[in-house]
Structure 1
Amino acid sequence: MARISLNDLRSRASTVDRARVEAASEADILAERAADPDAPGDLPADARIVEPPRALRVRLGLTQPEMAEALRIPLGTWRNWEQGRTSLEPAALSLLRIVAREPAMAFASLADVPGKAPPSR
């Protein structure tokens, strides 16, 4: 086992090619995974990948208060979901899947005024 100080670690240049990571498509990622002998096997047939709450909110360009308001939930509940303090119940997971796939439709359906989506950035 090699030991290194935190200062030595921080002074080293990163070996991650950030431009390559950002430019990678889903097909590129799958090809890399297939070529990696240490990669885990295929996901179980019933497995579903769920976008984490924070990633979903950031992708939609909303603040925490805006997201909570759009979903008609308490701000504290949204923050707990984002920070992993409470696990998502099946109904909440379903709601977030719908929002991830069809945000405009989901927000319009939840809005007080039919057809009016909450403000987005």
Structure 2
Amino acid sequence: MTLAEIRRSGGRVDRKRLAATTDEDILRQAKEDGTDEEIISGVYPIAATVRRALGMTQKAIADLMGIPLATWQNWEQGRVALDPAIRTLLKILWKEPEAMRRAVAA
């Protein structure tokens, strides 16, 4: 394919296929790629991925963590950088959601 053909086609991205990709598809593909536990270069999982993997709404996960809904939304949308403590909490929530629930309930 020539550069002109790529430009006319909107790039090499199949936009219809991309739009049809569900959260479940993304998680399945991440697992197939071996990146399900360490989403970003082995550092920590991203907030939206953790929430989706747990099948929770933004409100439910914010309540679980004891934070305002707006705070969780800011994390998911990248408006606020995550400090190391939050990264660690996300990793615990990602790998051991029941441990997090027990700790918060105690």
Partner residue of 1:24 out of 8, 28, 32: 32
TM-score (norm 1): 0.59
- Correspondence for 1:99 among 75, 93, 97: 93
TM-score using structure 2 length:
0.66
Name which of 31, 40, 62 aligns with 1:68.
Answer: 62
CA distance in 2, matches of 1:68, 1:92: 13
For the pair shown, the structure with the greater C-alpha radius of gyration is 1
Q: Sequence identity of aligned pairs in percent? A: 31
1:57 equivalent in structure 2: 51
Question: How far 1:25 sits from its partner (Å)?
Answer: 5.1
- Which runs of no fewer than 5 residues in structure 1 stay unpaired? 27-46, 115-121
Change (3 A) 1:61 1:89: same
Instruction: Give the structure with the higher percent helix.
Output: 2
